[in-house]
Structure 1
Amino acid sequence: IKVSYESLVTWKMHTDYLRCNPLFHGAPRYDCVLIHDTSGNYFGQLLFMFTHNINASGQHTDIPLALIQPFDSVPLQQRDVELRLIRLKEKPRKQAIIIPARSIIRGAFIVPAGKAEPTYLVVHTIDTDMFIRMHSMYPPENIMDYEESVTESGGEGSEEENGETSSNESR
Protein backbone atom coordinates (compact mmCIF):
# COMPACT_ATOMS: atom_id res chain seq x y z
CA ILE A 1 0.00 0.00 0.00
CA LYS A 2 1.25 3.47 -0.84
CA VAL A 3 0.61 6.05 1.91
CA SER A 4 1.32 9.74 1.43
CA TYR A 5 1.48 12.09 4.40
CA GLU A 6 2.48 15.67 5.09
CA SER A 7 5.71 15.94 7.07
CA LEU A 8 5.44 17.90 10.30
CA VAL A 9 9.01 19.10 9.70
CA THR A 10 9.06 20.34 6.10
CA TRP A 11 5.28 20.45 5.38
CA LYS A 12 6.07 18.57 2.15
CA MET A 13 4.40 15.35 1.07
CA HIS A 14 6.28 12.12 1.78
CA THR A 15 5.39 8.59 0.73
CA ASP A 16 5.71 5.29 2.58
CA TYR A 17 5.35 1.97 0.79
CA LEU A 18 3.87 -0.40 3.35
CA ARG A 19 3.90 -4.15 2.94
CA CYS A 20 1.56 -6.84 4.11
CA ASN A 21 2.76 -10.08 2.56
CA PRO A 22 3.13 -13.64 3.91
CA LEU A 23 6.00 -14.28 1.47
CA PHE A 24 7.95 -11.10 0.68
CA HIS A 25 11.32 -12.12 -0.83
CA GLY A 26 11.11 -15.47 0.96
CA ALA A 27 9.99 -14.22 4.39
CA PRO A 28 6.79 -12.82 5.89
CA ARG A 29 6.56 -9.04 6.13
CA TYR A 30 3.79 -7.21 7.97
CA ASP A 31 4.69 -3.55 8.41
CA CYS A 32 3.61 -1.45 11.37
CA VAL A 33 1.67 1.77 10.98
CA LEU A 34 0.58 4.90 12.80
CA ILE A 35 -3.21 5.27 12.58
CA HIS A 36 -5.56 8.17 13.25
CA ASP A 37 -9.24 7.80 14.14
CA THR A 38 -11.80 9.60 16.29
CA SER A 39 -10.08 8.42 19.49
CA GLY A 40 -6.68 9.80 18.42
CA ASN A 41 -3.46 8.24 17.13
CA TYR A 42 -2.34 4.69 17.85
CA PHE A 43 -0.07 2.00 16.43
CA GLY A 44 -0.92 -1.26 14.72
CA GLN A 45 0.50 -3.96 12.49
CA LEU A 46 -0.94 -4.62 9.03
CA LEU A 47 -2.36 -8.13 8.71
CA PHE A 48 -4.41 -7.95 5.52
CA MET A 49 -5.44 -5.37 2.91
CA PHE A 50 -8.62 -5.53 0.82
CA THR A 51 -11.29 -3.41 -0.85
CA HIS A 52 -15.02 -3.47 -0.30
CA ASN A 53 -17.29 -2.56 -3.21
CA ILE A 54 -20.41 -0.60 -2.33
CA ASN A 55 -23.18 -0.23 -4.88
CA ALA A 56 -25.30 2.74 -3.86
CA SER A 57 -27.83 4.29 -6.24
CA GLY A 58 -26.23 2.56 -9.20
CA GLN A 59 -22.74 3.87 -8.42
CA HIS A 60 -19.92 1.50 -7.57
CA THR A 61 -17.43 2.69 -4.96
CA ASP A 62 -14.38 0.75 -3.82
CA ILE A 63 -13.39 1.40 -0.22
CA PRO A 64 -9.83 0.31 0.71
CA LEU A 65 -9.73 -1.39 4.12
CA ALA A 66 -7.03 -2.86 6.35
CA LEU A 67 -7.15 -5.57 9.00
CA ILE A 68 -4.74 -4.50 11.72
CA GLN A 69 -3.42 -5.86 14.99
CA PRO A 70 -3.56 -2.85 17.34
CA PHE A 71 -0.95 -2.12 19.99
CA ASP A 72 -1.63 -0.72 23.46
CA SER A 73 0.74 1.67 25.20
CA VAL A 74 2.05 0.26 28.45
CA PRO A 75 1.95 2.33 31.64
CA LEU A 76 4.57 5.05 31.99
CA GLN A 77 6.52 3.14 34.65
CA GLN A 78 7.10 0.28 32.17
CA ARG A 79 8.56 2.45 29.41
CA ASP A 80 12.18 1.97 28.45
CA VAL A 81 13.98 4.52 30.63
CA GLU A 82 17.51 3.91 29.31
CA LEU A 83 16.68 4.22 25.61
CA ARG A 84 13.71 6.57 26.18
CA LEU A 85 11.60 4.53 23.78
CA ILE A 86 7.87 4.04 24.09
CA ARG A 87 6.94 0.46 24.92
CA LEU A 88 3.89 -1.14 23.29
CA LYS A 89 2.04 -4.37 23.93
CA GLU A 90 0.24 -6.25 21.18
CA LYS A 91 -3.46 -6.77 21.80
CA PRO A 92 -4.72 -10.38 21.48
CA ARG A 93 -5.24 -11.53 17.86
CA LYS A 94 -9.00 -11.82 18.43
CA GLN A 95 -9.04 -8.02 18.95
CA ALA A 96 -7.78 -7.34 15.41
CA ILE A 97 -9.88 -4.64 13.77
CA ILE A 98 -10.80 -3.46 10.30
CA ILE A 99 -10.05 0.19 9.58
CA PRO A 100 -10.34 2.41 6.52
CA ALA A 101 -6.93 2.36 4.83
CA ARG A 102 -7.16 6.16 4.57
CA SER A 103 -6.83 6.38 8.37
CA ILE A 104 -3.21 5.16 8.13
CA ILE A 105 -0.98 8.20 8.65
CA ARG A 106 2.40 6.62 7.88
CA GLY A 107 4.61 3.62 8.51
CA ALA A 108 6.23 3.08 11.90
CA PHE A 109 9.46 1.33 12.89
CA ILE A 110 8.49 -0.95 15.79
CA VAL A 111 10.85 -3.66 17.04
CA PRO A 112 10.49 -6.50 19.57
CA ALA A 113 11.78 -5.46 23.02
CA GLY A 114 13.34 -8.88 23.55
CA LYS A 115 12.59 -12.57 23.39
CA ALA A 116 11.65 -12.87 27.06
CA GLU A 117 8.90 -10.23 27.00
CA PRO A 118 5.96 -9.79 24.62
CA THR A 119 6.43 -6.04 24.19
CA TYR A 120 7.68 -3.82 21.40
CA LEU A 121 9.58 -0.53 21.19
CA VAL A 122 8.71 2.38 18.89
CA VAL A 123 11.89 3.76 17.34
CA HIS A 124 10.97 7.44 17.18
CA THR A 125 14.42 8.50 15.98
CA ILE A 126 13.91 6.94 12.54
CA ASP A 127 13.24 10.45 11.17
CA THR A 128 12.37 13.90 12.48
CA ASP A 129 8.72 13.63 11.46
CA MET A 130 8.23 10.52 13.63
CA PHE A 131 10.18 12.19 16.43
CA ILE A 132 7.78 15.14 16.46
CA ARG A 133 4.70 12.92 16.17
CA MET A 134 5.84 10.79 19.11
CA HIS A 135 6.53 13.84 21.25
CA SER A 136 3.01 15.11 20.59
CA MET A 137 1.53 11.70 21.51
CA TYR A 138 3.81 11.10 24.52
CA PRO A 139 5.12 14.44 25.84
CA PRO A 140 8.77 14.09 26.93
CA GLU A 141 8.19 15.96 30.21
CA ASN A 142 6.00 13.07 31.40
CA ILE A 143 8.79 10.59 30.72
CA MET A 144 11.41 12.90 32.26
CA ASP A 145 9.26 13.40 35.40
CA TYR A 146 9.02 9.63 35.79
CA GLU A 147 12.78 9.12 35.24
CA GLU A 148 13.60 11.73 37.88
CA SER A 149 11.22 10.16 40.41
CA VAL A 150 12.77 6.72 39.85
CA THR A 151 16.31 8.11 40.25
CA GLU A 152 15.44 10.11 43.39
CA SER A 153 13.68 7.19 45.07
CA GLY A 154 16.46 4.73 44.20
CA GLY A 155 13.83 2.72 42.31
CA GLU A 156 14.18 0.36 39.41
CA GLY A 157 17.40 0.52 37.49
CA SER A 158 19.24 2.73 39.99
CA GLU A 159 22.99 2.25 40.20
CA GLU A 160 22.92 1.55 43.93
CA GLU A 161 20.31 -1.16 43.55
CA ASN A 162 22.25 -2.91 40.80
CA GLY A 163 25.54 -2.73 42.69
CA GLU A 164 27.05 -0.47 40.05
CA THR A 165 29.01 2.72 40.53
CA SER A 166 29.58 5.56 38.13
CA SER A 167 32.94 5.84 36.39
CA ASN A 168 33.91 8.78 38.63
CA GLU A 169 33.29 6.82 41.85
CA SER A 170 35.30 3.79 40.76
CA ARG A 171 38.54 5.74 40.22
Structure 2
Amino acid sequence: MSAYLKCPQIEQCKVIYVEYQSKVDWRSSRDILHCNPRFHNAPRFDCIIYETDDDLIAMGELFFVFRCHLPGNVVIDFAMVRTFRKTTWQPNTRTDCPIREKMPATAASFVTLEHVVHGTLLCPIFGGKAEMHYIIDCVDEDMYLRVNNID
Protein backbone atom coordinates (compact mmCIF):
# COMPACT_ATOMS: atom_id res chain seq x y z
CA MET A 1 0.00 0.00 0.00
CA SER A 2 1.38 3.36 -0.86
CA ALA A 3 0.33 6.54 0.82
CA TYR A 4 0.15 9.81 -1.01
CA LEU A 5 -0.83 13.36 -0.21
CA LYS A 6 -3.62 14.96 -2.15
CA CYS A 7 -2.29 18.07 -3.86
CA PRO A 8 -4.07 21.33 -3.07
CA GLN A 9 -6.22 22.89 -5.74
CA ILE A 10 -5.61 26.54 -6.57
CA GLU A 11 -8.36 28.70 -8.03
CA GLN A 12 -7.66 32.17 -9.47
CA CYS A 13 -9.99 34.97 -8.36
CA LYS A 14 -10.62 38.22 -10.23
CA VAL A 15 -12.67 40.10 -7.63
CA ILE A 16 -12.63 40.22 -3.82
CA TYR A 17 -15.06 41.70 -1.33
CA VAL A 18 -13.52 43.35 1.72
CA GLU A 19 -15.77 43.91 4.74
CA TYR A 20 -14.61 46.64 7.14
CA GLN A 21 -15.92 48.81 9.94
CA SER A 22 -16.11 52.49 9.06
CA LYS A 23 -14.08 54.83 11.27
CA VAL A 24 -16.70 57.56 10.73
CA ASP A 25 -19.92 55.98 11.97
CA TRP A 26 -18.76 52.44 12.98
CA ARG A 27 -21.12 50.83 10.46
CA SER A 28 -20.14 47.81 8.42
CA SER A 29 -19.12 48.61 4.84
CA ARG A 30 -17.74 46.72 1.87
CA ASP A 31 -15.19 47.40 -0.86
CA ILE A 32 -15.27 45.52 -4.16
CA LEU A 33 -11.70 45.17 -5.45
CA HIS A 34 -10.59 43.86 -8.82
CA CYS A 35 -7.53 41.94 -9.92
CA ASN A 36 -8.19 41.27 -13.56
CA PRO A 37 -5.85 41.58 -16.56
CA ARG A 38 -8.90 41.88 -18.88
CA PHE A 39 -11.55 43.91 -17.06
CA HIS A 40 -13.66 45.19 -19.98
CA ASN A 41 -10.60 44.64 -22.22
CA ALA A 42 -8.27 46.70 -20.03
CA PRO A 43 -6.10 45.69 -17.06
CA ARG A 44 -7.42 46.57 -13.60
CA PHE A 45 -5.36 45.91 -10.50
CA ASP A 46 -6.77 47.70 -7.44
CA CYS A 47 -4.75 48.63 -4.36
CA ILE A 48 -5.29 47.57 -0.76
CA ILE A 49 -4.41 48.51 2.80
CA TYR A 50 -3.41 45.47 4.81
CA GLU A 51 -2.21 44.67 8.33
CA THR A 52 1.48 44.14 9.09
CA ASP A 53 3.57 44.30 12.22
CA ASP A 54 5.87 47.09 11.03
CA ASP A 55 3.54 49.50 9.18
CA LEU A 56 0.17 50.85 10.35
CA ILE A 57 -1.05 51.35 6.80
CA ALA A 58 0.85 48.91 4.60
CA MET A 59 -0.26 49.22 0.98
CA GLY A 60 0.02 47.05 -2.06
CA GLU A 61 -1.31 46.60 -5.57
CA LEU A 62 -3.18 43.35 -6.18
CA PHE A 63 -1.13 41.31 -8.63
CA PHE A 64 -2.70 37.86 -8.30
CA VAL A 65 -5.54 36.67 -6.05
CA PHE A 66 -6.17 32.99 -5.46
CA ARG A 67 -8.05 30.54 -3.28
CA CYS A 68 -6.21 27.46 -2.09
CA HIS A 69 -8.27 24.34 -1.27
CA LEU A 70 -6.30 22.21 1.21
CA PRO A 71 -7.03 18.71 2.52
CA GLY A 72 -9.63 18.59 5.31
CA ASN A 73 -11.91 21.15 3.59
CA VAL A 74 -9.58 23.99 4.57
CA VAL A 75 -9.79 27.04 2.29
CA ILE A 76 -7.28 29.91 2.44
CA ASP A 77 -7.48 33.06 0.31
CA PHE A 78 -4.22 34.77 -0.64
CA ALA A 79 -3.16 37.81 -2.63
CA MET A 80 0.19 38.42 -4.24
CA VAL A 81 0.82 42.17 -3.99
CA ARG A 82 3.39 44.67 -5.21
CA THR A 83 4.10 46.60 -2.06
CA PHE A 84 4.37 50.35 -1.60
CA ARG A 85 6.84 51.67 0.96
CA LYS A 86 7.13 54.97 2.77
CA THR A 87 9.48 57.47 1.23
CA THR A 88 11.02 60.80 2.18
CA TRP A 89 11.03 62.00 -1.45
CA GLN A 90 8.90 65.10 -2.06
CA PRO A 91 7.75 66.56 -5.39
CA ASN A 92 8.67 70.12 -6.36
CA THR A 93 5.09 71.27 -5.88
CA ARG A 94 3.68 71.49 -2.34
CA THR A 95 1.19 68.81 -1.38
CA ASP A 96 -0.32 67.43 1.79
CA CYS A 97 -1.02 64.01 0.26
CA PRO A 98 1.11 61.20 1.66
CA ILE A 99 3.48 59.62 -0.87
CA ARG A 100 4.48 55.97 -1.35
CA GLU A 101 7.02 54.33 -3.64
CA LYS A 102 6.03 51.19 -5.53
CA MET A 103 8.54 48.40 -5.10
CA PRO A 104 9.66 46.34 -8.11
CA ALA A 105 7.64 43.25 -9.04
CA THR A 106 10.52 41.10 -7.78
CA ALA A 107 9.74 42.36 -4.26
CA ALA A 108 6.16 41.08 -4.31
CA SER A 109 4.78 39.55 -1.13
CA PHE A 110 1.88 37.31 -0.17
CA VAL A 111 -0.95 38.49 2.07
CA THR A 112 -3.83 36.41 3.39
CA LEU A 113 -7.10 38.13 2.57
CA GLU A 114 -8.15 38.09 6.22
CA HIS A 115 -5.45 40.76 6.77
CA VAL A 116 -6.81 43.09 4.06
CA VAL A 117 -8.36 46.09 5.80
CA HIS A 118 -9.61 48.37 3.02
CA GLY A 119 -9.26 49.26 -0.64
CA THR A 120 -7.29 52.39 -1.46
CA LEU A 121 -6.67 54.75 -4.35
CA LEU A 122 -3.09 55.59 -5.36
CA CYS A 123 -2.27 58.01 -8.18
CA PRO A 124 1.08 57.94 -10.02
CA ILE A 125 3.27 61.02 -9.78
CA PHE A 126 4.45 61.79 -13.27
CA GLY A 127 7.97 63.07 -13.70
CA GLY A 128 9.04 61.75 -10.31
CA LYS A 129 11.89 59.40 -9.65
CA ALA A 130 11.07 55.67 -9.60
CA GLU A 131 7.37 54.82 -9.26
CA MET A 132 6.04 57.35 -6.76
CA HIS A 133 2.32 57.55 -5.97
CA TYR A 134 0.07 59.91 -4.04
CA ILE A 135 -2.30 58.30 -1.53
CA ILE A 136 -5.65 59.87 -2.35
CA ASP A 137 -7.06 60.37 1.14
CA CYS A 138 -9.97 62.62 0.15
CA VAL A 139 -12.07 59.87 -1.49
CA ASP A 140 -14.29 59.77 1.59
CA GLU A 141 -14.19 60.53 5.31
CA ASP A 142 -13.25 56.98 6.25
CA MET A 143 -10.16 56.97 4.02
CA TYR A 144 -9.08 60.37 5.35
CA LEU A 145 -9.24 59.11 8.95
CA ARG A 146 -7.40 55.86 8.11
CA VAL A 147 -4.57 57.37 6.12
CA ASN A 148 -3.96 60.20 8.59
CA ASN A 149 -4.25 57.83 11.57
CA ILE A 150 -7.04 59.78 13.28
CA ASP A 151 -9.18 57.90 15.79
Please give the TM-score of this superposition, normalised by the length of structure 1. 0.72
Q: CA deviation at 1:73?
A: 1.0
Are residues 1:17 and 2:37 paired? no
Count of residue pairs brought into register by the alignment:
133
Are residues 1:119 and 2:118 paired? no
* Matched AA of 1:29: R
Counterparts of residues 63-102 of structure 1 (less than 5 Å): 63-75=76-88, 78=90, 82-102=94-114
Are residues 1:44 and 2:60 paired? yes
* Matched AA of 1:125: C
* Matched AA of 1:96: A
Structure having the larger proportion of residues in strand: 2
The percentage of aligned residue pairs carrying the same residue is: 26
With a CA cutoff of 8 Å and minimum separation of 6, indicate the structure with the bigger relative contact order: 2
Unaligned runs of 5+ in 2: 1-15
Give the secondary-structure state (helix, strand or coil) at the position aligned to 1:129.
helix
What does the per-residue CA deviation read over 1:78-100, in whole Å, with 9 as the maximum and x for residues that have no partner?
A: 26862311111111111101110
Structure having the larger proportion of residues in helix: 1
Say whether the 8 Å CA contact 2:57–2:147 is kept in structure 1. Answer: no
Q: CA deviation at 1:135?
A: 1.2
What does the per-residue CA deviation read over 1:107-133, in whole Å, with 9 as the maximum and x for residues that have no partner?
A: 101010114542110000111111011
Give the secondary-structure state (helix, strand or coil) at the position aligned to 1:9.
coil
CA-atom RMSD in angstroms: 1.8
Residue of structure 2 equivalent to 1:135: 148
Which runs of structure 1 show a deviation greater than 6 angstroms over 4 or more consecutive aligned residues? none
Relative distance call for 1:69 and 1:17 in structure 2 (3 A) is same
